[in-house]
Structure 1
């Protein structure tokens, strides 16, 4: 209906005055009276050109008519169906009211819709601000990681090369001392014979000088009075071997020390030094996933460098309050469960790899933080036949004659989880041995091979509600891992002839084999107990 109250026949055009567009998706009236605002949900990515007077394609308008004002949307108004035209109005333009300014018309038209639009814009702006804030935080974290890792890398490089220089200097000094000691030893060993020979010659020289002096005196005395002196001199000279001379070695026969130094070591050392060390912008492996477990966290990692061939991996972890990482796994697997995790405590994990044929480890991955909110599985303390670890997750069958089932301290296993038993050591097997889960504790039984329980015996037999299944798993050995995966199949009543009204689908896996079956219970159970029983000592079982 027009503003002047007139009516027209169906389908007849009566007025070409500007009217607001009505959105097809609702009755909400949206007007863009040259305000330069962009309507929500229209023209994604298109800009409102206020100066050129283009609003693009909005509210179903494909373009602005040539008579449209800047930023104003026009549409031909069609007479409502079933209405008759007023006399004298067909084909005649109606008188136009005085044109109102855009701001006045905006205030007149549906203020509650404008208020709703404003609220939506505020909410959109707040959401946009939050998203931008999160991205700014992500940028800060990325910048911090680059800055901190660069600073740590500088410190590591400086410390390493300072240590290397100190070690090399120490090794060179030690080698120099060794070589100088060899020179001293050779010098002392080869000089000693020469010193002895020198002493012998010097003694002979002195003896000869004394003999010459004595002989000259005897000769000067003449014959007659000096006969006795000549006789004594001749007798003395005959006892001295004046024709015997000591042998002096030739120069070619005595050592001539020298240092043999291979100058090529400088080139070898230079090549090794120039190739020593590497700065990696990204480690070749990264932690891919952290999965919480009761009392543990499964850590999975993957290789992100296609050119790197990994031979072994090394996983470390620490509490976030600690400054020291400790090794928890070294091997070729890309998954490991870290046990002895306290619930609701943050831990950091990192992993590195060793290339094929290399000794050094790669740079560490970016540390990832994780925690477990699940209550750790614990055995019931105080049972006479079993000894427990400090965390009560390991049970050892002792020498006590007491028998019975060792249950969990609480029903901490929930459907949808994986319950794992790892046999650390084995004793003598017995067909009544059992490892499994049950709906409730029932004292007085020697085994879980009873009603309202499923279990596996140490010989691999599987029991459901006390009945042995046809399918059988391999016998349990030292190091064997037995897992239980249970999911709810139906809640409520089933066939009463089947003897239950709550069905669970159980998967028991051991030694790369598994059995799957439906377990019927008398009533629904939100959580289950686990337990074990062994008739002979020596069995040790870890649960997680």
Structure 2
């Protein structure tokens, strides 16, 4: 007995030590995040303010050079006429000095030459126009250069600088949930700062590990969730989100990156349907103009076979062209507008078991996206022993197209075992969202994201 108790105590101590070590690792990671993010914040602040100082110094230097150039131009334009006037006056002074010397010499000469000298002097004096003087501008008429400087700039700058930047302990938004979907991950986020008025959100992702590369944008908009498509199964991806405040142009700090992945293979359109070609990922089906057949086969051999039909020769839309979901597999059926199927036609009409609803969605055009969300709301029989015997169950169906959607209950007469038994743990069994794979092959999702060629 004591030996058993001792072994149990040892095992408990080992588990206790293991748990404490995990918590120490968690504390170390938390400390590393605090230290690392603080260092990054300091570096970002120093870099930003250094760049601002350099840019502000450069702008002030450029502005000073511009103002000094204006002073130089005013000075040059104003001094030139004064220099011209000075040259004219100096020339007159020179002429007057020469005339004075000549007159004084004429007065000193002898009587025999005096008359001729005086006559020449008088004649020369008359040509100089000694009574004509150049006009010198008054001081009020010439520029008086001054510099006007607005001291309020310093006050404005001080106010703006005092509100420049901010430091927060947590980003205003965080990744709240990452749910796996077939070949995709549904990311949801929420605000953690209620005082932050978000106008837009920005979601980015990248592959984890050495080959991850740079984060790339997945979504920018007002929604708080987005389905990131085209992800490789069993591969870790990092997701982060930020927000932009009302009336602001800059984005908030990024949230702490969260790792998500999907174990579900992406849905693919089945190959070999005549009149259609597939994209490299087999997630987009294009109507081909090389086939002479008006309609492809409507019998799906795999889930997610295209039933969007279009005439390759005329490019006209047939009234039976539809995208939707059916429960059975009817060979040779030419339309989803029939029993045991729900669909939306190209003109936006919604059909449930072949009957058209009064509500209508926007028309399906080139590049349109149509989504089907399904949730089991009532199931009979519920006994596990009767699952293979069949019965009725009710699905709540939401069909979305464009910016509108219709919601209705669909009573399906089909065996209950059409429900997937291997739904992901994060998704309730029987819950079907766009491409989430919770309903298996018995529900043939004819089209979710599709492209018409427009031919």
Output the TM-score relative to the length of structure 2: 0.78
* Aligned pairs (5 A) from 1:429-444: 429-438=317-326, 444=332
Q: 1:449 deviation in Å?
A: 4.3
Equivalent residue number for residue 531 of structure 1: 446
Structure 2 CA distance for partners of 1:147 and 1:410, relative to 1, 3 Å: farther
2:371 aligned to 465, 471, 482, which one? 482
Residue pairs, 1:313-328, within 5 angstroms: 313-320=201-208, 321-328=211-218
Query: Which of 150, 154, 167 is the equivalent residue of 1:279?
Result: 167
2:59 corresponds to? 171
1:187-202 mapped onto 2 (5 Å cutoff): 187-202=75-90
Structure 1 counterpart of 2:4? 116
Q: Distance in 2 between matches of 1:359 and 1:221?
A: 95
Residue 270 of structure 1 corresponds to 158
Residues 454 and 462 of structure 1 are in contact (CA less than 8 Å); yes or no, is this contact kept in structure 2?
yes
Check conservation: 2:184, 2:230, Cα contact below 8 A: yes
Task: Give the match's secondary structure for 2:140.
Answer: helix
Describe how 1:322-361 pairs up with structure 2 within 5 A. Answer: 322-361=212-251
The 8 Å contact of residues 289 and 299 in structure 1, kept in 2 or not, is answered as yes
Within 1, Cα distance between the matches of 2:74 and 2:59?
Answer: 23
2:432 aligns with none
Contact 2:269 2:304 in 1 (8 A): no
**1:75-94 aligned within 5 A:** none
Contact conserved, 1:346 with 1:369, CA < 8 A, in 2? Answer: yes
How far apart, in 2, do the equivalents of 1:507 and 1:232 lie?
A: 127
Distance 1:388 1:175 in 2: 61
Please state how far the C-alpha of 1:395 moved relative to its aligned partner: 2.9
Q: Distance in 1 between matches of 2:327 and 2:48?
A: 59
Verify: 1:461 aligned to 2:350, yes or no: yes
The RMSD of aligned alpha carbons is 3.4
Contact 2:174 2:189 in 1 (8 A): yes
Deviations 1:114-138 (A, max 9, x none): 2332232233223322322222222
Within a 5 Å distance, the mapping from 1:97-496 to structure 2 comes to 113-320=1-208, 321-381=211-271, 383=273, 385-399=275-289, 402=293, 403-404=295-296, 410-411=302-303, 429-438=317-326, 444-449=332-337, 454-458=342-346, 459-464=348-353, 468-469=354-355, 471=357, 473-477=359-363, 479=368, 481-485=370-374, 487=376, 489=379, 490=381
Distance 1:471 1:130 in 2: 61
Partners of 2:181 and 2:189 in 1: how far apart?
17
- Judge conservation of contact 1:492–1:502 (CA < 8 Å) in 2: no
Secondary structure of the residue aligned to 2:360 is coil
Greater Cα shift, 389-398 or 445-454: 445-454
Q: Do the aligned residues in 1 keep the contact of 2:278 with 2:285 (CA within 8 Å)?
A: yes
250 and 470 in structure 1: CA distance in 2 versus 1, 3 angstrom threshold:
closer
In structure 1, how many angstroms separate the alpha carbons of the residues matched to 2:329 and 2:250? 53
Q: Is residue 2:407 matched to residue 1:514?
A: yes
Q: Answer yes or no: is the 8 Å Cα contact 1:428–1:538 preserved in 2.
A: no
Could you say if the C-alpha distance between residues 165 and 186 of structure 1 is closer, same or farther in structure 2, counting changes exceeding 3 Å?
Answer: same
| Structure 1 residues 374 and 442: alpha-carbon distance in aligned structure 2, compared to 1, 3 A threshold | same
Q: Distance in 1 between matches of 2:9 and 2:112?
A: 153
SS in 2 for 1:225: helix
Q: How far 1:147 moved relative to its partner?
A: 1.2
Structure 1 residues 412 and 278, CA gap change in structure 2 (3 angstroms): same
1:220 deviation in Å? 2.4
Match of 2:428 in 1: none
Question: Compared with structure 1, are the counterparts of its residues 290 and 217 closer, same or farther at alpha carbon in structure 2 (3 Å cutoff)?
Answer: same
Would you tell me which structure has more helix in proportion to its own residues?
2
Higher mean displacement: 194-203 or 305-314: 305-314
- Shift in Å, 1:155: 1.2
For the Cα contact (< 8 Å) 1:377–1:393, is it kept in 2?
A: yes
Matches of 1:341 and 1:486, distance apart in 2:
25
Shift of 1:168: 1.0
- Relative distance call for 1:263 and 1:471 in structure 2 (3 A) is closer
CA distance in 1, matches of 2:90, 2:275: 97
Q: Distance in 1 between matches of 2:327 and 2:454?
A: 24
Match of 1:73 in 2: none
